[in-house]
Amino acid sequence: MTAYTLPESPIQRLSDEAHPERCTPEQAAPRLQTITLFRDHPLLLDCGRPLSSVRVAYHTYGEAREDALLVTHALTGTSAVHEWWPTLFGPGKALDPRQAYIVCSNVLGGCAGTSGPRELDGTPLTLRDMVAVQRELLRVLGVRRVTVVGGSMGGMQVYEWLRSYPDLVERAVIIGAPARHSPWAIGLNTAQRNAIRLAPGGEGLKVARQIAMLSYRSPQSLGQTQSGESRRKPGVPAVETYLEYQGEKLAERFCEQSYCTLTEAMDRFSLSDAELNAIRTPVLVVGISSDVLYPSAEVQSFAALLPASSYWELHSPHGHDAFLMDAESLNDTVKEYLTARLGA
């Protein structure tokens, strides 16, 4: 592993000239589509259950090509990369739909259009199952080589791509994500699922989000943004109404069965040191300086086990979600990494 500097890595920059725009703004526009995969041959899930006719809702951006940039979303994210990652997505940015064919699909088990709780009926999933669906989607789209980029649960999916399909992945970017869930992260998820089980129907999901939000922010971040009294409820600490509001917001857009299925998949996720050592693909691993969920030292220690990795740290006081909320320097670094050429 090297600290991230281009001259030291086996990578050279491409000049802007070598990267003319590859498609028109119209071609680069977001396209939301739905497809049914595994109609003839079912997907054999890790739990042993065959799953047929898997519906996948996905976005594509840019002109279809054999080499794609796959973005894998976080726990409550969606395929609409342009909505949740505006700092990294757009013309001239790291994820540029005028330069690359960008694909993002809603994960299996989620609640944004891809087969989820209704079809799965309590079947446990793994991240490998989710990634297998993405791989089939890319196959049907005619993609032969892929660069995979993701943060948090999206970053864990990138690790799974590197384990399951090493020959397809040209390079990868893993942001604020571990190669296996720590007891700390499993414990946080367990408390969240227990809240849902004890108060099904919405209230538990709100509490789960409140617990999660504390792990997505940091003491310093909340000190900066939530000190003092709430403007919404005089006499009440600001952070109280902040957490209540965050819980309400998630309960309006997410479903509790998906929350349990996806967090359980994260908790079961585990790459061994030997598996990490076997990954030859160039990977940029990003740690977040104030991340209390996946501390940067932990993220860096996984990067150190990848033979062709570079490590870079996003310095922000805002904790785990800094990759979404405080991401200007992340955009610059990921853009530099993705627009570099693999050297001889």
Binding residues (CB under 6 A) for ligand ACO: these are 74, 76-78, 83-84, 226, 230, 232, 238, 241-242, 245-246, 321, 324-325
Cα(318)–Cα(296) distance, rounded to whole angstroms? Answer: 13
Cα(211)–Cα(204) distance, rounded to whole angstroms? Answer: 11
**233 vs 341 by CB, closer to ligand ACO:** 233
Residue 51 structure tokens: 């799953």
**99 vs 152 by CB, closer to ligand HSE:** 152
**163 vs 217 by CB, closer to ligand HSE:** 217
Q: Is the alpha carbon torsion for 56, 46, 251, 287 positive or negative?
A: negative
Looking at residue 167, its amino acid is D
- Active-site residue (options: 105, 115, 152, 215): 152
**153 vs 251 by CB, closer to ligand HSE:** 153
Q: Is 67 a catalytic residue?
A: no
Which chain residues interact with ligand HSE by CB under 6 A? Answer: 74-77, 152-153, 216, 321
C-alpha atoms less than 13 angstroms from C-alpha of 55 in its C-beta half-sphere: 14
CB of 154 to ligand ACO, least distance (A): 10
Which partner, ligand ACO, ligand HSE, none, binds residue 84 by CB below 5 to 8 Å per kind? ligand ACO
If phi > 0 it is left, if psi is from -120 to 50 it is alpha, else beta; for residue 142 that is left
Cα(258)–Cα(238) distance, rounded to whole angstroms? Answer: 29
CB of 181 to ligand ACO, least distance (A): 19
- Active-site residue (options: 181, 291, 309, 318): 291
Alpha helices of the chain — where are they, by DSSP H? 25-28, 81-84, 117-120, 127-140, 153-164, 183-198, 203-216, 219-225, 238-253, 256-268, 273-277, 296-303, 322-325, 328-338
Which partner, ligand HSE, ligand ACO, none, binds residue 41 by CB below 5 to 8 Å per kind? none
CB of 196 to ligand HSE, least distance (A): 15
- Residue of minimal CB distance from ligand ACO? 84
Q: Is 73 a catalytic residue?
A: no
Which partner, ligand ACO, ligand HSE, none, binds residue 226 by CB below 5 to 8 Å per kind? ligand ACO
CB of 343 to ligand HSE, least distance (A): 33
Q: Is 152 a catalytic residue?
A: yes
Place of tokens 């660069």: 147
Which letter, b or e, does each residue of 13-49 get, where b requires 16 or more Cβ atoms within 10 Å of its Cβ?
eeeeeeeeebbeeebbebeeeeeebbeeeebebeeee
Residues taking part in catalysis: 152, 291, 320
